[in-house]
Structure 1
Amino acid sequence: MLLLNPTDLIRERYGSSVFNPEHLWNETLATLLSHRSVRAYLPNALPSLTLETLISAAQSAATSSNLQTWSVVAVQDPVRKNTLSQLAGNQAHIRQCPMFLVWLADLARLNYLATQQEMTTDGLDYLEMFVTAVIDTALAAQNATVAAESLGLGTVYIGGIRNQPEQVAETLQLPPQLFAVFGLCIGYPDQANLATVKPRLPQAAVLHHETYDLVQQEAAIAQYNEVMQHFYKSQQMNVTGDWVEHSLKRVATAQALGEREQLKEKLHRLGFPLL
């Protein structure tokens, strides 16, 4: 962990010292606020039982009605990691990290159990259950991520795993009603190529009291544009414009979604009616 002082961590997270929660501070908060995406890993193997410990943390996350509608595939085989890397946009860190976890929204397990019990599963066909499974998956994965980082490991989520979900399903031999929500690289960070903590929006842009107020965000977003332009420059990132322009380009067209604009149709083919 690089920064333990709460003032330093808050400054890193927001680009300024907006408050000092020293009287509330602990190691868990330090781990959370120190999070950064790691895209360069050492070749070191993970200690014995690391995976099992991370999964136990994941299974300690909240889950709707205790349905536990998620699963995970741990991938260490170099050939399979390379295939997944290509499917996710040729991201080198997938090949480089010692452990790549593919997190799955899983309705197949309940369907399988219902078949064994000769019961119906009409409810699984509805969008609500797919959303439930995706939420369960995200909660579990974030628990595992925090656990990994508390052990000195680095992580980065791979949303590109959704680029070609049918090919990912084939690579992992997934039966119907399973969907790879994202991947997660895990390994020891290469300290020589360690990313800086990326500032987030001011709390005034995301925290509302009693009711939601869209207009109140304007000043906070303007401030954030300045923070991010400084960040882009300091990190020598080739980003055109400010954060608003960068973000709006990401949603300006269907094609900007990067091979995911037909996700609904692909989900139908993976066994999710989404009624």
Structure 2
Amino acid sequence: MNPILEAQLAHKSIRQYTDQAIEPALLQQLIACAQGAASSSFIQAYSLIRVTNKENRQKIASLAGGQKWVESAAEFLVICADLTRVEYCSEQQGLGKLAGNTEHFIAATTDATFMAQNLMLGAESIGLGAVFIGGIRNDPAQVAERLNLPNQVYPIFGLCLGWPDATPDLKPRLPVEVILHQDRYDSSRCETDVKAYDAQMQAYYQSRGGNQKSSNWSEQTATAVQKKKREHMLSFLQERGFLKS
């Protein structure tokens, strides 16, 4: 084990923060380090919006489903897939505007996500707490309007950063042997794997220090995906120049 591996294993979503600010130079350093993440063909198709305006934070917190930590975190960043610079390069090189190809959408989304995970890990390595906010996709059009996002840019998720004021229990992840397949995918073990993990998660939910409940992974997962379909996302993305072909 080394500090990086230990930090990866210790990740917890932090939603309660002290009033202590994050020094601007430290934030800049964390972002610079996050940029060391892998990038598809080195296109670096992402941008961050640092949201400091109180009214914007309140509105985004409300749009995200009343997530008050968006307001209370020392820093709130919106992670965006951004193809504006890529399109500029394409036009300057005589190759024309982007055509909304699905591949470009995937490349920009993964670029931004790799960078954001690096940013979270770096922040956690120095004692900061963080949580991603997927709830901004509840109404991405309003978020985009408030942040003045142009076409070829869309908000993927938010990121709260701050000094922790509470330490939640560590959730057990799926066992490695469940997610790791040898040479070919083995779908025959799905039922057994899920049932075993359900039992583990139910015991966790009932024994943790706070917010105890009677539930399991299947229940939580099914509810999360079936009640958060966000069917507006396709038309929103297409209006922004993504996923047209």
* TM-score relative to the length of structure 1: 0.83
**Which stretches in structure 2 are left out of the alignment for 5+ residues?**
none
For the pair 1:232 / 2:232, whether they are aligned, the reply is no
Within a 5 Å distance, the mapping from 1:162-173 to structure 2 comes to 162-173=137-148
Matched, 1:218 2:218: no
Structure 1 counterpart SS, 2:182: coil
Match among 244, 247, 257 for residue 218 of structure 2: 244
Partner-residue secondary structure (3-state), 1:157: strand
8 Å contact from structure 2 (residues 47, 112) kept in 1: yes
Aligned counterparts of 2:63 and 2:45: Cα–Cα separation in 1: 24
The CA distance in 1 between the partners of 2:16 and 2:105, in whole Å, is: 33
Contact 2:73/2:162 (8 A) holds in 1: yes
CA distance in 1, matches of 2:65, 2:111: 26
* Post-superposition CA distance 1:23-42 (Å, at most 9, x none): xx111111111100001011
What SS does structure 2 have at the residue aligned with 1:184?
strand
Distance 1:90 1:118 in 2: 46
Root-mean-square deviation (CA, aligned residues, Å) is 1.8
**Matching residue's letter, 1:266:** F
Alignment pair present for 1:161 and 2:136: yes
Q: Which residue of 1 aligns with 2:36?
A: 60
* Change beyond 3 A, Cα 1:244–1:273: closer
Who is 2:104 aligned against? 129
Q: Which residue of the partner structure matches residue 78 of structure 1?
A: 54
Partner residue, 1:41: 17
Quickly say closer, same or farther: Cα 1:239–1:215, change in 2 above 3 A: farther
The answer to whether the Cα contact below 8 Å between 1:32 and 1:146 also exists between their aligned partners in 2 is yes
Match of 2:85 in 1: 109
Cα distance, 1:224 vs structure 2: 1.1
Q: Is the 8 A contact 2:205 2:214 kept in 1?
A: no
Q: Which residue of structure 1 lines up, in the alignment, with residue 156 of structure 2?
A: 181
Q: Residue 257 of structure 1: SS of its match in structure 2?
A: coil
Q: Contact 1:204–1:217 at 8 Å: present in 2 too?
A: no
**Which has the larger displacement, 215-224 or 27-36?**
215-224
Identity %: 38
Retained in 2: the 8 A contact 1:204–1:216? no
Find out whether 1:205 has 2:178 as its counterpart: yes
Q: Which has the higher contact order (CA 8 A, sep 6+)?
A: 2
Deviations 1:197-228 (A, max 9, x none): 11111122201111110122433322211111
Question: 1:266: Cα distance to partner?
Answer: 1.1
* Partner Cα separation in structure 1 for residue 212 and residue 122 of structure 2: 32
- C-alpha distance 38-243 of structure 1, shift in aligned 2 (>3 A): same
Cα displacement string for residues 153-192 of structure 1 (whole angstroms, at most 9, x for unaligned residues): 00000001111111111111011110100100000000xx
Q: Is the 8 A contact 1:202 1:221 kept in 2?
A: no
Aligned mates of 1:199, 1:127 — CA distance in 2 = 34
Deviation at 1:238, TM superposition (A): 6.5
Whole-Å Cα distance in 1 between the matches of residues 40 and 134 of structure 2? 23
Identify the residue that residue 257 of structure 1 maps to in structure 2: 228
Report the secondary structure of 2:188's partner residue. coil
1:150 paired with 2:125, answer: yes
- Which residue does 2:240 correspond to in 1? 270
2:176 is matched by which residue type in structure 1?
Q
TM-score, length-scaled by structure 2: 0.93
- State whether residues 105 and 243 of structure 2, in contact with CA within 8 Å, keep that contact through their aligned partners in structure 1: no
Greater shift in the superposed pair: 241-250 or 142-151: 241-250
**Post-superposition CA distance 1:39-68 (Å, at most 9, x none):** 101110112412211111221000010111
Is contact 2:79-2:158 (8 Å) kept?
yes
